[in-house]
């Protein structure tokens, strides 16, 4: 059995024990269990008490962001907090990752929760008292560093959830595993990292979770809204590289060489017709983006080559393969027509983020109980990508979205993730803690 992402189904990748767990989960009413409402109420109360501290954590992390595989200070704050709570703590997983284990006082399943910790090479443009002024080296250049994707919020939320659950540990029916992950945005060149490396280094073992939960802030939704989707939710991401080679000559005598700059420009335009004219977009979305072009050093010198890098986003295996073939053909033939060559490399990136349908259905009433019906909404597929998908290839998972745009602002015009103007309404932190903690309790109680 294969899902829409082309992966083997439950009995092949999740295992029969996990399949039985998810099916049992889907058959029971939300909130069921001996701890029930009283335990949920305790967790909500502790989360409210933790809110000021969680906001303080977030502001500190925001002011001191760290790039992928360099989250040393961030990891130290997490380790100190989990250790104070009395959790079993493992450090140095996938370079700077932290794994904490909270064992409840009652028998039950193992549930994993994940937060990412890394920031981006973005110079902050938001006027905040805790705005980042940090600079670091990235690909040989000095860059500004900013939490422009909300990973500071994710980390603060999971730290708060750890505290809320630790305070009721004797009543918890099972074990909670906290994964604080580095390098979700991608490891530096020549390094390994992120979820794939966390898994390779045993983050999902001893004990092995039956399922995993995670969230991401969403500037496209207002504060007070939670969004979810069953099945394919975020895109498969592949890394695209194209090197166009021509023949260098004087800029005043272009006919004496082969201009790779002009060829590169034609290839960029040609690639856009693949998505707009050659694939069946009503069947599934797709994106081809060139994010960087570099060639030449001087205005009057036509260079030998131009280098381009970009990203490919797809949701279906067949469409993905077709687009890859069309990219190679388009770039090659355009270059050939001008007497140049185009070398295309496509490196596999993150798989499709696939929310287990039974788990998602079981958790929808929990989300609705947290924010009220009408505020827990289904989301269309999103062409962003997430390495949370690697965990979902191992065990069933649910990845949902937390609205962060102030109610007085228009989410349609709010700065997106990765923007230097990215902004978070910090009231979302409490809602994120409440949602993640209540989902965890529902999964533990089955």
Provide the annotated active-site residues.
350, 426
Region for 173 from its dihedrals, namely left if φ exceeds 0, alpha if ψ lies in -120 to 50, beta otherwise: beta
Tell how far CA 182 is from the center of its chain: 11
Query: Between the CA of residue 446 and those of 22, 29, 241, 256, 260, what are the distances in Å?
Result: 9, 8, 46, 73, 61
Q: Could you give the CA distance from residue 6 to residue 326 in angstroms, rounded to a whole number?
A: 20
Four-residue CA torsion sign, 155, 158, 163, 169: negative
Cα atoms found within 13 Å of the Cα of residue 435, Cβ hemisphere only: 32
Query: Which tokens hold the place of 435?
Result: 């949602």
- Please answer whether residues 417 and 149 qualify as being in contact, where contact means their C-beta atoms are separated by less than 8 angstroms: yes
Contacts of 297 (CB under 8 A, 6+ apart): 303
Our CA angle for 62, 71, 154, nearest 5°, is 50
Closest of 236, 192, 207 to residue 96, by C-alpha = 192
- Please answer whether residues 227 and 378 qualify as being in contact, where contact means their C-beta atoms are separated by less than 8 angstroms: yes
Query: Which tokens hold the place of 150?
Result: 């909300």
**Beta 211-222 vs 106-116: how paired, if at all?**
parallel
Tell how far CA 411 is from the center of its chain: 20
3-state helix, strand and coil shares in percent for the chain, rounded to the nearest 5: 35, 25, 35
Q: Could you give the CA distance from residue 379 to residue 376 in angstroms, rounded to a whole number?
A: 10
Query: Which tokens hold the place of 332?
Result: 């090659």
Our CA angle for 142, 56, 180, nearest 5°, is 65
């Amino acid at each position: 059995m294969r899902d829409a992402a082309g992966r083997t189904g439950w009995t092949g990748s999740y295992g029969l024990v996990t399949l039985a767990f998810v099916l049992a989960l889907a058959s029971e009413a939300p909130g069921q269990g001996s701890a029930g409402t009283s335990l949920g109420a305790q967790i909500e109360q502790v989360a409210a008490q933790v809110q000021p501290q969680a906001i303080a954590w977030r502001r500190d992390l925001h002011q001191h962001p760290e790039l992928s595989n360099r989250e040393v200070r961030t990891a130290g704050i997490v380790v100190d907090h989990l250790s104070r709570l009395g959790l079993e703590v493992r450090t140095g997983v996938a370079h700077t990752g932290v794994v904490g284990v909270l064992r409840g006082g009652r028998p039950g399943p193992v549930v994993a929760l994940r937060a990412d910790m890394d920031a981006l090479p973005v110079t902050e443009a938001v006027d905040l008292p805790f705005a980042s002024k940090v600079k670091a080296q990235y690909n040989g250049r000095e860059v500004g560093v900013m939490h422009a994707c909300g990973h500071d919020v994710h980390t603060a939320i999971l730290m708060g959830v750890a505290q809320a659950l630790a305070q009721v540990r004797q009543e918890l029916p099972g074990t909670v595993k906290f994964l604080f992950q580095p390098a979700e945005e991608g490891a530096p060149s020549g390094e390994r990292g992120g979820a794939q490396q966390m898994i390779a280094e045993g983050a999902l073992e001893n004990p092995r979770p039956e399922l995993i939960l995670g969230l991401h802030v969403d500037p496209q939704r207002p504060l007070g809204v939670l969004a979810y989707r069953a099945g394919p939710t975020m895109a498969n991401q592949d890394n695209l590289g194209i090197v166009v080679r021509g023949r260098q000559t004087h800029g005043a005598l272009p006919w004496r060489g082969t201009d790779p700059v002009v060829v590169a420009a034609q290839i960029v335009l040609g690639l856009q017709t693949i998505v707009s004219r050659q694939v069946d977009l009503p069947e599934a979305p797709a994106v081809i983006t060139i994010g960087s072009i570099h060639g030449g050093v001087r205005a009057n010198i036509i260079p030998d080559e131009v280098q381009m890098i970009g990203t490919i986003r797809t949701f279906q295996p067949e469409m993905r393969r077709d687009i890859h073939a069309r990219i190679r053909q388009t770039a090659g033939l355009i270059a050939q027509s001008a007497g140049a060559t185009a070398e295309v490399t496509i490196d596999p990136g993150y798989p499709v983020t696939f929310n287990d349908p039974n788990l998602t259905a079981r958790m929808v009433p929990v989300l609705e109980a947290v924010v009220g019906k009408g505020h827990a909404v289904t989301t269309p597929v999103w062409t962003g990508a997430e390495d949370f998908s690697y965990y979902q290839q191992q065990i069933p998972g649910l990845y949902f979205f937390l609205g962060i745009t102030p109610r007085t602002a228009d989410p349609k015009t709010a700065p997106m993730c990765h923007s230097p103007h990215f902004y978070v309404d910090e009231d979302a932190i409490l809602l994120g803690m409440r949602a993640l903690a209540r989902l965890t309790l529902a999964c533990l109680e089955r």
